[in-house]
């Protein structure tokens, strides 16, 4: 199995190459498939993008797997071994209680930051832009707690101490989440070589259940991704993200932090109800929340989603076969409330504001001031080897970054229990800065928190 990374051994002795990809990796998937087939390998492709848009990959692979593989895996592998592989296989919605234990012992864990366990599939919500529910369904399916503990045992034995629970919405079915978290809490309490730290995806409605959040922290959860999207309630209603409406989103995020979790907040610009003021609105909202880790991007309409169908019906697709390709300042939607040029310029300004060293550290300080003692702390050390290297590289970027590192060290000295969370926030900050600089999106001369000096609204905004 290979992913869409750059370090690919095209001379692998393997006879069969399996490739999986998200929509943002579709171009790289085609390159890998083409190169391996040119070398005489049998290439099998599957995963989210292929399942949603199989026509896009036809001609690039020998075998296409659409949907989930568990129920059809034995047939596929038997056909390949017998030399009679079919060009296409279609899976259904397997019972995850029958999922085999993954062979993580075959995976080179040394360069990995975290292991991964998927405890459920599917999400009952119906966000218009979400492609997950289109291929995994809205009826959530789960593994039994015993299966999850067996996978945790395996990863722990391999030296892994951080695990992503790769669920689409871990806490949406509260009764099931409690049973699993109670089992993990007991398991983690018996670890003698350090606790396992967990990260997963929640929806903001989990903030209403303080007991559930407390249980999650006791089980080992210390970070969670939450799709906040926007403080513009009209935009949330537009895409049917109803679970985020009629709430004080900033206060809900503060509840998450007070429970002991670090929220990783996903934000989006480019909704139909977003006007030229959305970038300053987003900047003000983000500055008000105790969340140093922010992921900001444009609204994109993935193939196979209701949003794609709506935008196509309105003749607002950039082009039929284009998906945005995962580029930071790109989308396949022609925006309704501003020109494409203003949307790109505004997002660039917003990214520079969110990841300005001072603004980023202010949010980190807000987090540290509000967070309780972290029971999932790691050993007292300012930075791990990875983080120390990142800090050294960051210091070379300028005076502002050098001051930032000094403030970070002082913060860690005050709150050594937050080392794992502060370290993770630093990793994401450095990664984002690298991306912004690599794609020449970072404005080193930026000196204004107002979008006006950066973008001429009168020239670019739509009447």
Q: How far apart are CA 351 and CA 370, in angstroms?
A: 25
Beta carbons within 10 angstroms of residue 148's beta carbon: 21
Please write the tens of the pLDDT for every residue from 78-126: 999 999 999 999 999 999 999 999 998 888 877 677 899 999 999 999 9
- 155/27 Cα distance (integer angstroms): 32
Residue pLDDT, tens place only, 301-316: 999 999 999 999 999 9
Ramachandran category for residue 176: left, alpha or beta (phi over 0 → left; psi -120 to 50 → alpha)? alpha
Q: How far is residue 237 CA from its own chain's centroid?
A: 22
Q: Percentage of residues in the chain with pLDDT exceeding 90?
A: 78
pLDDT at position 319: 81
Residues near 392 by Cβ (< 8 Å), separated by ≥ 6? Answer: none
Please compute the mean of the pLDDT values over residues 436-453 and round it to a whole number.
Answer: 73
Burial of residue 300, with CB atoms counted within 10 A of its CB: 0-12 exposed, 13-18 middle, 19 or more buried: buried
In this predicted structure, the answer to whether residue 380 has a pLDDT above a threshold of 80 is no
Tens digits of residue pLDDT in 326-372: 678 899 999 999 999 999 999 999 999 999 999 999 999 999 999 99
What is the pTM (predicted TM-score) of this model?
A: 0.91
Measured CA to CA, the distance from residue 116 to residue 102 in angstroms comes to 10
Direct distance between the N- and C-terminal alpha carbons of the chain, in angstroms, rounded to an integer: 51
Across 158-185, average pLDDT: 95
Return d(Cα 143, Cα 163) in angstroms, integer.
16
* Greater pLDDT, 24 or 42: 42
**383-394 pLDDT, tens digit each:** 566 677 887 888
* pLDDT at res. 325: 65
Token pair recorded at residue 69? 């593989």
pLDDT per residue as tens digits for the range 415-441: 999 988 998 999 999 999 999 998 889
pLDDT score for 448: 59
User: Under a CB-based contact definition with an 8 Å cutoff, are residues 346 and 276 in contact?
Assistant: yes
How far apart CA 73 and CA 194 sit, in angstroms, is: 36
The band of 2, judged by pLDDT with boundaries at 50, 70 and 90, is very low
């Amino acid at each position: 199995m290979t992913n869409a990374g750059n370090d690919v051994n095209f001379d692998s002795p393997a006879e069969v190459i399996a490739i999986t990809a998200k929509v943002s990796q579709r171009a790289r998937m085609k390159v890998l498939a083409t190169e391996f087939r040119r070398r005489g390998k049998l290439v099998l492709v599957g995963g989210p993008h292929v399942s949603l848009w199989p026509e896009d990959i036809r001609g690039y692979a020998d075998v296409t797997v659409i949907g989930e593989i568990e129920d059809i895996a034995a047939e596929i592998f038997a056909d390949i071994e017998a030399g009679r592989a079919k060009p296409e296989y279609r899976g259904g919605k397997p019972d995850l209680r029958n999922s085999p234990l993954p062979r993580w012992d075959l995976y080179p864990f040394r360069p990995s930051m975290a292991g991964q366990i998927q405890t459920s599939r599917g999400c009952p919500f119906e966000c218009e832009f979400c492609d997950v529910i289109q291929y995994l369904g809205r009826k959530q399916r789960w593994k039994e707690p015993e299966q999850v503990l067996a996978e945790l045992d395996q990863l722990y034995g391999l030296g892994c101490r951080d695990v992503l629970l790769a669920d689409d919405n871990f806490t949406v079915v509260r009764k099931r989440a409690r049973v699993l978290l109670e089992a993990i809490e007991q398991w983690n309490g018996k670890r003698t070589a350090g606790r396992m730290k967990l990260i997963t995806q929640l929806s903001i409605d989990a903030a209403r259940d303080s007991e559930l959040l407390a249980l999650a922290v006791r089980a080992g959860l210390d970070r969670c991704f939450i799709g906040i999207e926007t403080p513009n309630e009209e935009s949330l209603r537009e895409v049917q993200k109803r679970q985020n409406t009629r709430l004080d989103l900033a206060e809900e995020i503060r509840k998450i932090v007070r429970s002991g979790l670090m929220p990783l907040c996903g934000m989006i610009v480019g909704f139909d109800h977003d006007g030229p003021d959305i970038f300053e609105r987003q900047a003000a909202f983000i500055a008000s929340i105790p969340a140093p880790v922010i992921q900001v991007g444009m609204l994109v309409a993935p193939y196979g989603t209701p949003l794609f169908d709506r935008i196509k019906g309105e003749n607002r697709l950039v082009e039929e076969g284009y998906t945005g390709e995962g580029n930071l300042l790109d989308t396949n939607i022609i925006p309704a409330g501003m020109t494409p040029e203003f949307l790109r310029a505004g997002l660039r300004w917003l990214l520079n504001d969110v990841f300005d060293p001072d603004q980023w550290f202010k949010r980190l300080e807000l987090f540290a001031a509000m967070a309780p003692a972290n029971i999932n702390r790691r050993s007292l050390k300012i930075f791990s080897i990875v983080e120390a290297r990142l800090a050294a590289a960051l210091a070379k970027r300028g005076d502002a970054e050098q001051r930032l590192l000094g403030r970070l060290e002082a913060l860690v000295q005050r709150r050594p229990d937050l080392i794992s969370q502060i370290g993770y926030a630093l990793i994401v900050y450095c990664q984002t800065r690298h991306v912004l600089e690599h794609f020449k999106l970072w404005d080193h001369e930026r000196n204004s928190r107002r979008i006006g000096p950066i973008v001429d609204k009168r020239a670019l905004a739509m009447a």
